[in-house]
Amino acid sequence: MPHQNRSHTFKQLTRLLGFAFGTLVTAHAQTGVPRAVATLREVVVSGSRSDQLDDDLPLSLDVINAREIEEGQIGDIRGAAKNLPNVSVKRAPARFSVTGRGNPVGADSNAGFNIRGQGGNRVVMLVDGVRLPRSYINGSNAFGRDSVSISLLKRIEILRGPSSVLYGSDGLAGLVNFITLEPADFLNLPNGERKALGGRAWVSYSGDDSGKTVGGTVAGAASDTAEWLLTGTRNRAGAMSNMGTNNAANVDRTTPNPQTSWGDSLLGKLVLRPTADQRHVVTLEHVTKDGDFNLLSNRAKPPYVAASVVDETSSKTMDRNRLTWVGRYQLKASLADELQTVLSRQIGAAQDNGQTVRFDGGVRVRKTSYNERAWQANVQASKVTTLTSRWSQKVTYGVDHVSTGLSSFADGSDPAPLTPFLPKKYFPDTRDTSNAIYVQSELISDDWSITPGARMDWFSLAVLSQDGYYPSPSTIPGTSLSGSAFSPKLGVMYRATPQWSVYGNYASGFRAPEAQQVNNVFEGFNAKLLPNPNLKPEKSQNVEIGLRTRLDQLSLDVAAFTGRYTNLIQEKKDLGTANGLVASPANPTLFQTVNIDKATISGFEIKGNMAWGRFAGGMLSSPFSYGHTRGTNDTNGLPLTYIEPARLSVGLKYETSAWDWRLDLTHHATKKASELESRYIPKSTSQLQFLVPAANTLDLSGQWRIRRDVRLNFAITNLTNQKYWNWSDVQGLASNAVPVVVDAYTQPGRQLNLLLMVDF
C-alpha cells in the first residue's frame, strides 16, 4: 500500500508539472510581456541571509507582506498559515489537565508551524534573525511557540525545506522569520520624499475569540542620520469558539471552556547612520501573553468518589524580552564589500499555575516554569566579484554563536494521605551552546544561478547544576552531550526567458537533541521515564524542483519535493515493563526518548494568481494554492499518521480605487483510514481514530479606503457556517469513546472580523 500511495503521488505530480509547463508555454505564446512590470518583487533576507529578490532564489519561499497582513487581518501565527499550501499551525481547544493523568491538549495554544509534514522544534522560528524560544511539553504542561506579536511586523518569510546551512540546528523542515517594523516604513513617501513624523493607529475585533486589540506606532526622524520608532499594542480575548452545543460543566462538555486571555507588546527601534558607510539598528522588543482557564470539561459526573475532580483552574503567563544590535559596514575591501555584526540578548519565561479541587475537599496545586536566556552573536561578510563578461560571484561567509541557558522548575502540593509533592526539576539546569562557520557562493549569469553552500556546527549540552534534579538526589545524574554536524546544499536556477524559470535544490538539515530530551526524568505510581544521554541529532536530506512564471496575467509557482529523515527522535517511547508483566509500583512501565524513526515525505504545491483583467471599472483576479503531502515510516513501511490532508484554496478578488472585495473557497480534504499507521488510537485495540471528513468553507473579506489614510478592513469567515475539523487538533481522538466529545474540537463557525487603520 505505501508503494502504491507513492506511485499515485508521483503520477499526480507528473500530471501537475505537465499541466503547469503547458500552461506556461501557452501563456508565453500569447504574450511576451512579463508580469513583473505590474508587480513589485519582494526583497527577502531569509533565503540567503542578505537582501535578495525572492524570485532569484532556487527554493520555495512564501512572503506575507504588510498589505497582506492588514487585508487578511492576520492576528496570530495561525492566521499567517491559513492560505499557504503544506503549511499549518496547530491550535487545539483548551482541554488540558492540571493534575492526574498527563493531558496537554491545548495547553500550548498556537503550538508552532508545521511545514511539509514536520513541525514543532523541527522548524526554525526567528524574529529579525534571532531565534525564538523552543516549545516544551512535559506531562500536562505545554509551552508553545506563539511568543510573537503580529502587530509589530511588516513581513513574514516562510522558507520550505531544510535551512540548516544558513541557520543551523532545528532547520530540519523549514524556517519562519518575522521581520519587525522600521521607521522608514512610516517616514518614506512613495514619491521619494521623507516625513519628519509619521505613524499609525488601529483597532480590531476578532469574532472567533471575541478578541479586541488596540495599537499605535509613532516614528520620527531626529536628524538626517537618526530615526526612531515606537509601537505598542494591547489585546484582550476569550476562548476560541467552536461548533459544540453541550454546555455541561463536566466531561461531556463540547462548548469551549471559559477563558480570558490578554497580552501586551512593545517595539522600540533606533536607526543610526553616522556615516554613508555605516548603519546601526538597536531594537528593544517585549511581548507578554497571559491566560486564565476554567477547565469545566475536567469535572467528573455524579456519582462522585473521594478523588473525583469537582473544580480545576489554570493560569498561564509568557514573557519574551529582546535587545538586539545590528551593524552594517560598507568596507569595499579585498576580502569583503560588506560586513554585518549582530549581538542579541533574549529572555523567554513561561509560568503555568493550576489547581485541582477534589470531591473530598482535597486541593492539589501545581506550579511549573520553563525559561530560556539566550545570547546570540553573528559576524557575516560578503564579496561580489566579476569572473568573466557573463559570470559574477557573490560569496557570503560568517560565524554564528548561540548560547542558551535552559531551566525548568515544578512546585506544588498534594492533600493527605497522598505523598507530599516534592519540588523538582525534571531536567537539570543546562547550557545549550552552538558555534558554527558557514559559506555560500552564488554564481550568477544572465541565464543561470548556481548556489552551493556548506555549514559546520559544533553543539553541546552542558549540565550546569544537579541541584533539584528529580529525583533528588538523582539516581541517574544528568549528563552532558556534545557533537557536530555538517550541512551542505546546492541550488541551481535556469532562466529560460525573462518570463519563466526552473530550479532544483538539494538541502540538508539537522536538529540537535534538546536538554529535556536527553535528561528528562519522571517517576509516577506505575510509570518511569528514563533519560537518554546517547541521543543522536535528527537529520534530513531534501530534493526540490520547481517552475516559476511571471506573465502579464499569470503568476505561477509549482514545486515538488521529497525528503528523507533519519534518527528522528520519538518522545517518551513505551518500552513496556522490565519483566514484561503487568505494570505496578515495583515493576513500572518504562518510557524513554529514543532515536528510532526513519521517514520519507514527498509532495508538491502549486500557488499563484490569475489576473482576468478590467471588469466594470475594477480589476478582477484569482489567487489560488494547493498542497499535497504524503509520508511513510521507513522502519515499518506504514503511512505517517500525522501528515495533514491536502488543502485547496481558490479566490476571486475585485479591486477598485476605493474598494477591495475577496471571496475565498477552501477545500479541506478528508483524512482516510489508508493514511493512518493504525486505525485505532494509541494503546487501544477497540477505540477507532476519529477521521476528519472533507469540508468546504467560504470567507468573504474586503477593504474600504475611506480616505487615503483611513482604511476599514472587514471579513466574514466561514460564511456558510460549515462544521469542520483540522487533523492536527484531533489526531489521537477516539470516534467511539464515551463521552463522544469530537464536537469540542471543531473550528469556529461564522464570524465577523473588523480592523480600522489610520495613518498619519
- What is the pLDDT averaged over residues 18-40? 39
Question: What pLDDT sits at residue 256?
Answer: 97
DSSP-derived secondary structure for 726-745 = -HHHHTT-BSS-SS--GGGG
Residue 31 has pLDDT above 70, yes or no: no
Residue 29 has pLDDT above 60, yes or no: no
Question: What pLDDT sits at residue 685?
Answer: 84
Residue 472 has pLDDT above 90, yes or no: no
- What is the pLDDT averaged over residues 346-356? 97
Give the separation between CA 589 and CA 584, rounded to whole angstroms: 8
**Which grid cell is 374?**
539566550
Say if residue 420 is exposed, middle or buried (CB neighbours under 10 Å; 0-12, 13-18, 19+).
exposed
Q: Which residues contact 111 (CB under 8 A, 6 or more apart)?
A: 89, 90, 91, 92, 119, 120, 135, 142, 144, 145, 146
List, for residues 540-552, the tens digit of each pLDDT value: 999 999 999 999 9
- What is the pLDDT averaged over residues 75-83? 92
CA angle, corner 569, sides to 13 and 456, nearest 5?
80
> Where does the pLDDT of residue 23 fall: very low under 50, low under 70, confident under 90, or very high at 90 and above?
very low
Q: Which residues contact 78 (CB under 8 A, 6 or more apart)?
A: 89, 91, 110
Share of the chain above pLDDT 70, in %: 94
Distances 454 to 508, 616, 677 between C-alpha atoms, Å: 9, 53, 36
Of 518-522, 558-562, 613-617, 725-729, the range with the lowest mean pLDDT is: 518-522
Half-sphere exposure of 207 (CA within 13 A, CB side): 14
Question: What pLDDT sits at residue 1?
Answer: 42
Start-to-end CA distance of the chain, whole Å, equals 61
Distances 610 to 39, 93, 232 between C-alpha atoms, Å: 12, 37, 37
DSSP-derived secondary structure for 343-355 = EEEEEEEEEEEEE
My answer on whether omega of the bond before 639 falls inside 30° of 0, hence cis, is: no
Question: What pLDDT sits at residue 141?
Answer: 86
Question: What pLDDT sits at residue 41?
Answer: 74
- Which residues are 124's β-sheet partners? 175
For residues 476 and 350, which has the higher predicted lDDT (pLDDT)?
350
Residue 622 has pLDDT above 60, yes or no: yes
Count helices and strands in the chain by DSSP H and E runs: 7, 36
CB count in 10 Å sphere of residue 26 = 10
Of 522-536, 548-562, 600-614, 672-686, the range with the lowest mean pLDDT is: 522-536
Looking up cell 546601526 gives 280
For residues 171 and 30, which has the higher predicted lDDT (pLDDT)?
171
Residue 370 has pLDDT above 50, yes or no: yes
List, for residues 156-215, the tens digit of each pLDDT value: 999 999 999 989 999 999 999 999 999 999 999 888 889 999 999 999 999 999 999 999
Supply the DSSP symbol for 273: -
Phi, psi for 22 (deg, rounded to 5): -65, -40
489 closest CA partner among 171, 29, 728, 255: 171
Question: What pLDDT sits at residue 610?
Answer: 97
Question: What pLDDT sits at residue 474?
Answer: 65
Question: What pLDDT sits at residue 273?
Answer: 97
> Three-state SS for 24?
helix
| This prediction's pTM | 0.92
> Where does the pLDDT of residue 290 fall: very low under 50, low under 70, confident under 90, or very high at 90 and above?
very high
Phi, psi for 600 (deg, rounded to 5): -125, 125
Q: What is the mean pLDDT of the chain?
A: 91
Residue 301 has pLDDT above 90, yes or no: yes
> Where does the pLDDT of residue 17 fall: very low under 50, low under 70, confident under 90, or very high at 90 and above?
very low
Residue 489 has pLDDT above 80, yes or no: yes
Domains contained in the chain, CATH given: 2-759 (2.40.170.20)
Supply the DSSP symbol for 42: P
Question: How do 751-759 and 527-530 pair as beta strands?
Answer: unpaired
List, for residues 627-648, the tens digit of each pLDDT value: 999 999 999 999 999 999 999 9
> Where does the pLDDT of residue 40 fall: very low under 50, low under 70, confident under 90, or very high at 90 and above?
low
For residues 22 and 285, which has the higher predicted lDDT (pLDDT)?
285
> Where does the pLDDT of residue 473 fall: very low under 50, low under 70, confident under 90, or very high at 90 and above?
low
List, for residues 111-135, the tens digit of each pLDDT value: 899 999 999 899 999 999 999 999 9
Distances 78 to 69, 90, 399, 574, 685 between C-alpha atoms, Å: 12, 7, 33, 32, 34
- What is the pLDDT averaged over residues 414-431? 91
List, for residues 506-564, the tens digit of each pLDDT value: 999 999 999 989 998 887 778 888 889 999 999 999 999 999 999 999 999 999 999 99
- What is the pLDDT averaged over residues 302-321? 96
Instruction: Calculate the CA 345 to chain-centre distance.
Output: 22
Looking up cell 511557540 gives 145
Phi, psi for 75 (deg, rounded to 5): -110, -15
CB count in 10 Å sphere of residue 234 = 14
